Each structure stands twice: as C-alpha cells, then as structure tokens.
Structure 1
Amino acid sequence: MPVTAQPHQPRRRRRTSRLLVVAATVVTAGVLAAAALPASASAGGNDRGHGGHGHGHGHGQGRYQDVQLLSFNDLHGNLEPPAGSSGRVTEVQPDGTTKTIDAGGVEYLATHLREARKGNRYSITAAGGDMVGASPLLSGLFHDEPTVEALNKLDLDVTSVGNHEFDEGAKELARLQNGGCHPTEGCYSDKEFKGADYPYLAANVLDEKTGKPLLKPYWVWKQRGVKVGFIGVTLEGTPDIVSAEGVKGLKFEDEVETINKYAKELQRQGVKSIVALIHEGGFPASSSYNYDCDSPGAGDGISGPIVDIAKNITPQVDALVTGHTHNAYVCTIPDPAGNPRMVTSASSFGRLYTDTTLTYDRRTGDIARTSVKSANHVVTRDVPKAPDMTRLIAKWSTLAAPIGNRPIGYVSADINRDGTESPLGDLIADAQFAYGEAQDPETDLALMNPGGIRAPLTYTASGAEGDGVVTYAEGFTVQPFANTVNLKDYTGAQLIQVLKEQVSGPNEAAPKILQVSSGLTYTLDLTRSGADRVVTDSIRLNGAAIDPTATYRVASNSFLAGGGDGFTTLGEGTNERVGADDLAAFEQYLTANSSATAPIAPPAADRITVVR
C-alpha cells in the first residue's frame, strides 16, 4: 500500500488532573471461512453467559457448538457519538462505489451488542485494548471512571491492555481494575468507584522487580462445558509511545513469545480453544470497513506489524482480535503451519464491532477452524438508544458541564485532522509557536505529533452551543494528554534529522509526519524510500535554507521533547524551558485570534509539499 501518515497512532501522556487545573446493523459483505486445521493443533474461570438459547450445529450437548465472539477495540472513552470524520465509517457498495455512515456512541453500541447476543447462549464479548486514555472530556475529566462504568453495563467479559491504559501509570490502571476513589481528587459522587467487572489482561507487561506479569496474563471463559481461553498483550513498543512516568518500573516483552508461552500453559490446563487479544494491528489495503482482504485478486490485503506477529504465533491459538492502528479489517493470515487464521480489528471509537463465530468441538475441546467466520458491523445511529447508557451519560455530563461548556474560540468551518499535513495540525503547531514566542522571543518554530490530535474541530457540534463555537470540552477532546509545551535548542543538522526520523527508523513502515508551524516548509517525496523521502535541500524556514551549524529554538509538547514516537533527536535538545499545559496554549491562541464575528478559518495545509 502507499506510504501515508497514520494519524491515529496512539501516544503521549494524558493529563494527571484536568479537574485540578481548571477547578440497525449494517453487515459486511466479506464473511470469511478459514481452511482446515487438525483438531490436535490448536491450543482462573468464569461462567458468565448471555441469555438466549442453544445455537450452532446442534442444540444442547451436540458435538459442535457455535460460540459467538463479539469484539471491539480502541474505544478511547468515546461515550458520546464522535464528531466529524471520527464518527464516520466508509462502506464499499456492490457496484464498487463507497458511502460514509455516521457511527459510534455507547448508547448505540449497547443496543447493537445486546441485539447481536439474542439467540446466542454461548456469547463472549472481548476487547483489544485502549478502552480508556486519550478520552473526550466526559470521560477523561474523571480519569475514565465513566468509561469503565459503561463497559460494565455493556457486559464486557475481558480485554487486553493497550498502550493508553498506561497513560497514568500502573497504579491508576490497578485502580481502574480494582476500584476505589482517585488518590488526589477523591470520589466524584457519594458512591465509591467499584472498578471493572471484567479483567484487564497484560501477559507481556512485567514488573521489573518481580519479573511477574503486572495483571492476569490470561482468562478462561466457561459455559456449559465449553472453555475458551484468552491471552492479552499490548505492543512491545509501548514504552516508545507512552511517557516514561507511565511505564516506570515496567518491562514489555515480545508479543509472539509471550502468547506462545501462555498458549502452552493453557493447553496443559486442558484449554485447547484460545483467542489472543493483541493491542497491535495492521493497515488494510482499503479504508472501507467491509473490504474483503481475502477476495481473489486482493493481493496482500493487509500489511503492518500484525502480519509478522500472526505468522509466528503458535497454531494452538485459534483467532486474533487486534487493535492499535484504528483500522477495520477481517482477514485470514496463515499461522506457522500454513493454515489460515482469522485476524480482526473493529476500527476505533466504538464505530464498529466484530461478530466472529467459533465452532467448538466438544469431543476435542478445540475450535474447528473450517467453520470460523467473521464480519465487522457498523454501530449505526438509527437504532434506539440504550436507556441505561443515556442515564450514565447524563449523570457525568451534569458534572462536566460547568467546565466543558465554556467557549474558548470560534471557527468558520470544520477544521479536520486528516491527511499527511492537516489543517488542525497546522493550527495546533501555530498555537504552540505563538505560546513559545510569548515565553521566549527567540523561538523559531513548533512541531506537533499527529497522534496527539485526537479529534477534529467541527463547525456544528452535537451539543447545544451555537455553530462555530469551540468549547473547552471540544478542545479537550482534541488534546487530552496534558503535555506541557516545552522549548529546546537544536542545531540545524539536528532539525533536519528530526524531519528525516518521520520516515525512517521505527517510523519507516508507518510514517509519523509532524505538523509544522507557519514558516517551515519542505518537500516529502513518497516515491523515494527511507529517510530520503524528506528532500533535504527543500527545507526552508521563512524562505531561508536551514543552516546545519546554526541554533534553532523549537517548541513542542513534552512527549515529543522527550524523544517520543521515535523522534530520538528531539530528546537531545538543550536549554530546555518547560511551559504550561498544551491545551491551555491552544485555548490562549483560539481566544486571542478568534471571535464570533471573526472566526478562525481552516489553515490551507500547504507547508509540506507531498510528491506521490
């Protein structure tokens, strides 16, 4: 597939406390069936089932029993319907054209999942990580307690951790699992937060001191003699995309080695049907959620890290539920024995869910892979809202309203985050540059990582405010991490190297194109490979070539300034000055540069010339 920036890559540190600072269903066309695998090759407890009647190749205690696996990933605390492009999916039509569908919102997700479970006595709901973190204000303001409460009501059975589960560190993750009031802010109501009813699995996350998994490595679902084991891992590279404080004292192991280790352990316990929940993913050849990447002539329907992971995970594992890249796919990838195995991902923000049928052989205790089928479904908004979710949103919205409804600026149209260079990326970079200049007039430019931009700014929001008004809640949804805006000095040679790190090293396969402030221009030639894609002699600052020996003062968020997202050279800057919260800088810029009569227009996004 062509090399493009991946705007949804998760990252940096979330705020430690915004409170203190501010005191129906559409079914995919590609239902897939995997090829045969000998039954002997594949592969704590709970009896939590979901209503209905026997379902599958026979009722009661017949040899084969269909087990429904409903899954989703990367919810990121999006309880309300996501705005703009973050709340839409693309669907390919029978004639090859595409259309967009509004999707997402936990009130609708609950309705869809509950409807899907009807008639399925053997139904499991699992998730692939990043249920929390980088969340809109409705959840993020309260350290994602609202999202955990919603997931409890959704009857989520199990989830892996993702990198964002570590945004606030291991102690806060333990609190989300076990309950208790926040250590500094206390309880948000008269009832103590009870924690997650479902287990977070973290098989490859070890305590450095003990060498043991931070949380449960696996979990076994049991229902009327049927047993399915789940192993949960996050990407090994989590420390590269989370603040150092968030992963302090933790070690992240290889995904494949970890899953293979615990698959053997489950086998020894007599659990032969195994699903891996992996917070790592891939990039499908099409952006349409119902693209059939196994169709004849599709070629390599999926690329990215999950391909090599899937090809090396033991055949004892029967299916992979993945995430992290915020893409939608239902593919088969051959296991080490050469047999196809289902690999799925349901986009992000609760816009899709995956319905997979695992046919369980009671005689062998294994999954008959010849019968595995799967499809992604849209969480459409044309179904009744789940009343319990409406009440939950109303409760937390009442608490958040005094802070969230405050206007902080005005826009004349949608300002999107899509593309190699995005209008919203330029706007945020300009805001950080303006903040930097106010702190130090010697500031030359600002750089912003695309994954730190979590949502677009929309002209007409879903709330009650007037068109074009940007509220604090909307700003929070765009930048929820509470990074600081830091200033550092770099040589011109270092600045050039930073730009090349966008498309080389750890970012070569999935480039992370920095958003740049006004005045910095260059050419990105995607017909080249590696670091050469950044055309060195095209780099200009206010029209002048970058002098390798000169010193440049650069503003960036603290995550980038620390070398995050693979930008190691940014971590080598000198003369650092730590500034205020990045959302505060954004708010200051919007307030100073917009009004109801003179709103901000979307920037042209013409600072980076892209050659394809």
Structure 2
Amino acid sequence: MARRALSAVVAVAALCTTTGLGPATALPPPTVPLRLIAFGDLHGNLLPPEGPRSEVVRSDGESVPAGGAAYLAAYVRQLRGQAEHSVLYSVGDTWGSSPLESAMFHDEPTIELLNDLDLTAAALGNHEFDNGYTEVRRLRDGGCHPEQGCRYSDSFRGADFPFLGANVTNVDGTPAALPFSINYIDGIPVGVIGVLPRNTPEYIRADAIEGLQFGDEIEAVDRTADILDALGVRALVLLYKGDLRAGEGADKCSTDGNATHVATNVSPKVDVIVTSDGESHFNCSYPDALGNPRTVLQGASHGRIISVADLSIDRKSRDVLRDHTVAFNQVITHDIEPDPQTRQFVDRAVGESSDVAGRPVGRITDHLVREPSHSGESPLGNLVADAQLAAAEPFGAQIALTNPGGIRADLTYTGDGTVTFGQTYAVQPFGNRVQVLELTGAQIDAVLEQQFQEEVSGRPLERILAPSHTLRYTLDRLAPRGERIRDISIAGTPLIPETTYSVAVNGFLADGGDGFSVFSEAQRRTGAGHELDALNAYLSDRAPVKPPATDRIDLH
C-alpha cells in the first residue's frame, strides 16, 4: 500500500504547485485532447475466448472472431499511437475466474501483460477478491505467493498501476484501496474514480472479504469527486464495475437498473462513465443530476470490445467540454497483425501451463452449454449439480443445487469428445469446496423461492439454481413472489416441510452468496471436497457423458 499511497500523495502535492510561463514561451492551444481507452471483464483471458463468446457482431451485422491479448495489445498500441495524449483503464474483473494459463500462476501473467501495456489505472471488481484481500495486495505490491512461491518468474514486482475502489473500506472505515488516481495531461490534471456496486459481497465468498466493507457507490463517488474538485481536478472519469443493462432498439441504452441509476445520479462533476458487466456493449448518453448530457460506455467482456472516448479539455477551466466528446466501441478483430511481443508472452504462459491444461479427464458425447432453457436450467448446470451430488452422496447428500454464475465456460465437443483439465478448470475456476448442508423441507422451499429477487433499484431479478436429477418441482412465474414454487419432490417422494434433508452446494452458496441467505441458516455443514474435483471425477467415472435433459423444473 505504501508505494501506491505515496504516488497518490505526490500527485496531490503536485496540484498545489504552480509554474509561470516566461515571456518567450508560446501560448498553449485553448484545449488539450485526450483519448480514453477502457476495457472491462478481461478475466485474465490471454487467449481468444472459445465457445459462444468467441465471436461478436460488428456494427455492419457480421459476426467475427474477437479477443485475445495479442490482438488487444495491437489495437491498444494503435489507438494510443493515433492520439497525442491517452490513458488506458481497466474496469473491474481484470483477473479472477481466469483461464488456466493465467490462474495457474496466480494471475501474475495478467498483471505483467497490463504492466507492459502501460495501464493507467484499474478499478476493482468482485472477482479480484476471489482469493482474498491479502492476494489483492500481493498482486498490487509484488512478492511471491506465500504458499507456492513464484511459479511464473523468479520474482514478481507487482502492478505498476493503482487499484481503485472508493467505496471499499476496512471495518474501521479506513480505505482498503485508493479511491482515485490523478494523471497530468499536458499539465492538466485528470482524475479517475473506481467503485463497485454496494451489493458486491453477495458475489464473493464471505471468508475472502472478511474485514472489508462495501459502501454506497453514489455516496463514494460524490465524496471523492468533491475532494478532487477541491484540489483543482475538474476533468473526472468514473470506472463503475456494474451492469448497465442494454435496452431495446439500436442504441441499446437502458432506462432502468442499478447502473442506470448510478449513471444518472452520481456527481455532475464526473464527465465520462465507463461501466463493465454482463454481455452488452453500448455507447450512450445520459443526463447527469443537473440535466447535462454525459457519455456512458461499455465494451464486451474477455477483451473482445474496448471503449474509446476522445475528449477535449478546456485549458483554462481544466474541465471536459462534453459536447466535443466523440466515443465509440472498437471490436478486437483478428484482421489486424497481432502484437508480436505480446504473442510471445502469451505463448510462454500457454506453453508453461500446457502439461496440466492438456491432461484428459473424461469424455462427452456432445456440447455441454450454459444457455438456459425456458425453465432456467441448462445442460451443463444440471451436469455440475449431478457431479456435486455424486461427490457428496458419501456424506449423506440427497440433492444438489448450484448457481449458474459459478459456471464460467461451456464444454465444447471436439474430436472424440475428450475433455481436458484446462476445459473443466475454465468451467469451475473458483476453487470452491462442496458443502453438505442440513436444511428442513421448509428451508429448501424458501431457498427455491429466493430464486426470485430484486435489484437495489427494484428491478426484478431471476436466478434459477441448477438442480440435481433427484430434485423436481413446478415453477409458476406468474404467481405472487413467495408462492411460485410447488410440488417439490426429492428422489420421487414429496417434500415434507418438517423433515431434515442433506443438500450439497458450493461454499459460495453455503455462505448465502447470490442472495440465497437461507443456505447460511443450515443446522450443520460438512465438507465434501472441491467442486472441480467433483466435476472431473464425474466425467471420468461416467465417460462418455451425455448432456442431461433440462426437464427437472416443470413450468406451469
């Protein structure tokens, strides 16, 4: 923390220093141009993503391959080379739930990639905390992993860029991350603020963020913007790790949701907002709290689309001239020459992880996808639930439930259907343990009713848990909340509210993650190994595995 804090102190101190121009000095132009480049949800993807995320639709309607660090680097260097001044930001989930070529080395390759790209600042997201706050600080400050040492290089120097989280504090209220960063563009200070949604703890294992608090994001932005304004910083950018859901129509600009509320209500001192979450990408304009238009951008995850905003900063007022902003989203296509230095870097990471990644673990007969059916089930989700049930049955488990958000990739059928460790790791990269919980029938019913929630803004939110083959029930989406689940049966026998059952879930759900608080009320929990081991064992023991049907939830 000391190195990052020192840089912030130096930046603030510099704001208080003024220099005069001598009589022979030419007058500067009235505006300073600045190109802002940003990406989000990179998730340590050094290679182009596979499966449904391998392609994106360009503005001309053509679907093209996209992503990959070597192509990302080529576009970033090209875009920066076209501009007199530029900044490069990452908007959360820069690493975490990463593919094996980054995760195997504790995401140090991703940090080194961003150092090489001269990243200006990174806003924290929920996945940066997957392995705990101590690991966040190690990746920031450097040093070898405390248990496994430096596996990728002889040493690890840490990030050359600040981690931002204005609403992340310790329990005593002290900052757990820098709230802002300042850069000077031709002598003009430009500030950037990073925040996460206030409900971020719902998406992180409780033990990973013990001792941390996530405050109201709007209050944190307003407070930080006021501080920067008082220091003379007028040009402000906000990096918000939240989902600005796409709306209908060509512009895809949403009119509701949590992030839209943030985009229209945070301090009018903020000139540009870049968000990051979900699969939508857009270039929108929203009125700020004073009614003035403000650009809001979002690219696409896994390095497939990056956002660009060309800003003009008035040299006298030091503020952004918003009506001069030109913004667009750039698809990271493969019709550009990949950056050779980055390609060599990626090849090394892939090569050093290839023995582990290429180890066969089983076989499948067809694609196993996460795409939900009308019931909300998916073939891969149901298979993962079955795998966790199989692993937990020796510990008494009767049913299993898993959250779709814990399944991060599809299993693609290729060749003879062999599945490798690298593929299954991409499906379940979190290292969660399987827990067997003792819950009453009434609590199981309550858990299933918790699949229907609300966002902070009041917008309905549906999270259908993948059920094992031993659990069946009827779902009526038109019924009032709290009455949408009925006819629950376990192994063909109707659920009895007073009876105690054993339910297998991952550790994230067991702690009440994703809003399923009833799981945390379990009478007892028993460990049943790791979820990735359960999946690998299931694919090995039952090879070749067929995609299970999505018929466990009946729709009324």
Alignment pair present for 1:453 and 2:407: yes
Shift of 1:509: 2.7
Return closer, same or farther for 1:562/1:122 CA change in 2, 3 Å cut-off: same
Greater Cα shift, 371-380 or 261-270: 371-380
Aligned to 1:274: 236
Aligned to 1:16: none
Aligned to 1:520: 471
Aligned to 2:3: none
Q: Distance in 2 between matches of 1:354 and 1:273?
A: 18
Equivalent AA in structure 2 for residue 312 of structure 1:
N
Match of 1:600 among 545, 548, 552: 545
Greater Cα shift, 506-515 or 370-379: 506-515
Return closer, same or farther for 1:334/1:609 CA change in 2, 3 Å cut-off: farther
Return closer, same or farther for 1:86/1:269 CA change in 2, 3 Å cut-off: same
Match of 1:401 among 354, 358, 378: 354
Give the match's secondary structure for 1:489.
Answer: strand
Q: TM (normalized to structure 1)?
A: 0.82
Give the match's secondary structure for 2:33.
Answer: strand
Alignment pair present for 1:140 and 2:100: no
Match of 1:412 among 365, 369, 390: 365
Shift of 1:588: 0.4
Shift of 1:476: 0.7
Aligned to 1:581: 530
Q: Distance in 2 between matches of 1:397 and 1:218?
A: 34
Q: Distance in 1 between matches of 2:217 and 2:349?
A: 36
Aligned to 1:193: 156
Aligned to 1:305: 258
Q: Distance in 2 between matches of 1:400 and 1:344?
A: 35
Equivalent AA in structure 1 for residue 197 of structure 2:
L
Q: Distance in 2 between matches of 1:139 and 1:60?
A: 49
Q: Distance in 2 between matches of 1:610 and 1:370?
A: 50
The one-character-per-residue Cα deviations of 1:590-609 (angstroms, maximum 9, x if unpaired) are: 00011xxxx32222222234
Equivalent AA in structure 2 for residue 402 of structure 1:
D
Equivalent AA in structure 2 for residue 372 of structure 1:
T
Alignment pair present for 1:64 and 2:31: yes
Return closer, same or farther for 1:361/1:130 CA change in 2, 3 Å cut-off: same
Q: Distance in 1 between matches of 2:121 and 2:147?
A: 28
Q: Distance in 1 between matches of 2:384 and 2:123?
A: 32
Equivalent AA in structure 2 for residue 76 of structure 1:
H
The one-character-per-residue Cα deviations of 1:44-83 (angstroms, maximum 9, x if unpaired) are: 5499xxxxxxxxxxx9932133311111111111111111
Greater Cα shift, 82-91 or 556-565: 82-91
Shift of 1:505: 5.1
Contact 1:450/1:514, CA 8 A, preserved across alignment: yes
Shift of 1:543: 4.1
Match of 1:541 among 486, 490, 495: 490
Q: Distance in 2 between matches of 1:445 and 1:428?
A: 12
Equivalent AA in structure 1 for residue 53 of structure 2:
S
Shift of 1:198: 1.2
Match of 1:83 among 50, 68, 90: 50
Return closer, same or farther for 1:511/1:542 CA change in 2, 3 Å cut-off: same
Return closer, same or farther for 1:195/1:498 CA change in 2, 3 Å cut-off: same
- For structure 1, list consecutive stretches of 5 or more residues without a partner in the other structure: 1-43, 48-58, 295-300, 461-465
Give the match's secondary structure for 1:574.
Answer: coil
Match of 1:264 among 222, 226, 251: 226
Q: Distance in 2 between matches of 1:145 and 1:216?
A: 21
Question: What is the aligned-residue RMSD (CA, Å)?
Answer: 2.2
Q: Distance in 2 between matches of 1:537 and 1:450?
A: 22
Aligned to 1:240: 202
Q: Distance in 2 between matches of 1:247 and 1:342?
A: 32
Contact 2:32/2:186, CA 8 A, preserved across alignment: no
Equivalent AA in structure 2 for residue 432 of structure 1:
Q
Give the match's secondary structure for 1:585.
Answer: helix
Shift of 1:91: 4.3
Contact 1:293/1:302, CA 8 A, preserved across alignment: no
Q: Distance in 1 between matches of 2:486 and 2:475?
A: 11
Shift of 1:190: 5.2
Q: Distance in 1 between matches of 2:239 and 2:504?
A: 38
Q: Distance in 2 between matches of 1:485 and 1:545?
A: 25
The one-character-per-residue Cα deviations of 1:220-245 (angstroms, maximum 9, x if unpaired) are: 12121232100111222222221122
The one-character-per-residue Cα deviations of 1:408-457 (angstroms, maximum 9, x if unpaired) are: 011222211122321110110110111111332xx221100111001111
Give the match's secondary structure for 2:352.
Answer: helix
Shift of 1:540: 3.3
Return closer, same or farther for 1:231/1:190 CA change in 2, 3 Å cut-off: closer
Q: Distance in 1 between matches of 2:383 and 2:489?
A: 19
Give the match's secondary structure for 2:473.
Answer: strand
The one-character-per-residue Cα deviations of 1:296-349 (angstroms, maximum 9, x if unpaired) are: xxxxx3432101112221100111111233432222222111222122221211
State the identity %: 38
Give the match's secondary structure for 1:307.
Answer: helix
Q: Distance in 1 between matches of 2:314 and 2:333?
A: 34
Give the match's secondary structure for 2:343.
Answer: helix
